[in-house]
Structure 1
Amino acid sequence: MASLVLKMSISLDGYVAAADESGDWIGAGGSDDAMDWLVETLSGASTHLVGATSYGPMAAFYPTSTAPFAKPMNDIPKVVFSNSLTTADWAETTIVSGDLAKNITRLKQEHSDGYLLAHGGAKFAQSLVATGLIDEYRLAVHPVVLGTGEPLFRAPLTLEPTSTTVFSGGIVAHTFAAKP
């Protein structure tokens, strides 16, 4: 059975999206070694899980991108969770609808290699957290304070720290295992 890993960029004050929906803050603290960690995280997945809101911009960007992380994003199968989309125009993409927890459970059972890597928008991430099905959190904490926005966590949750990596530009990657 595959594990579910949630990878998110997060501000020092716990927000995964700015109130004005800008994404400029995600560049804060960027460095080559942080990029290597991101590419490694993306490349290790057997399948990428994406919410409907993030799908459009990702599908428009990655197929023609030359960024270091574009190859794993394009080559590895993707599953988009949406109750409104019916077709996907990004290669290796399947759309699923219906109950999120049931679909995640099914995908975890169907995959035995690698891990399922979820990333994308705040609402999708919050919904995944609420299912209780995330096995590991990979949080890239950027050296920026947003002051307001969308938090990742909306309820208490106890996690087990498993590793911390400090990158040269200031991003700190914290990896946590979900406690049963």
Structure 2
Amino acid sequence: MDEMSEGLSHTATLKLRFKEAWRLLEAGDIDAAEAMAVELLLESRLSRYHKAGCHIILSTSSDNSFEHGIKTLCRYNDIWERTDLTEAEGNDIFRGFCDAMTLLDKARQDQASNDQQGKAKSDRGMAMEEPSQSVPEMTGESQLSSQRTVSLRTESNQTDNSADRDTIGMDLDFDENEPLSDIVRYKIGSGLKKDEDQV
């Protein structure tokens, strides 16, 4: 890889490394692909598009697949909001966004399944240890505190050589019975869905 990138600009080298990470993933060398994606995400000049692609690689099998799925959607949303995209670029971003939604939905289902299995094991353990005690019902307040929330933070956009950090904070509650299509319609940072107007 180093011989290939000799004499190329830093940006061109990053693109080559990104393509190599995807080649490794497609060849089934998941550990090497993930390691390369992590290294690429440390690069300050990596574009949003390539950051999204790295998060997709990490969301395919990572322990933090749900988190990386959310970050992928944020990167694609940032790109989608640009007005200077050509039709081909827009289509490419849309396909990536759809792929990210699919991976996020799978991660959400896996996480819900793991949560249910953990709860079932915990319930069986409690039943075996203390058969005379019943599990108290959750109050409305404790139900709210046990809901899963995800905090979204955009990464620093350093491709424009600014030191400013754009930070968006919001909590999303995911219910395993609720479809993820609401995320697609949500315009991140505005508090509105994409089809709503501000009053």
Give the TM-score taking structure 2 as reference length: 0.24
Larger Rg: 2
Give the number of the structure with larger relative contact order, counting CA–CA contacts within 8 Å between residues 6 or more apart: 1
The answer to which structure has the higher strand fraction is 1
Q: Which structure carries more helix by proportion?
A: 2
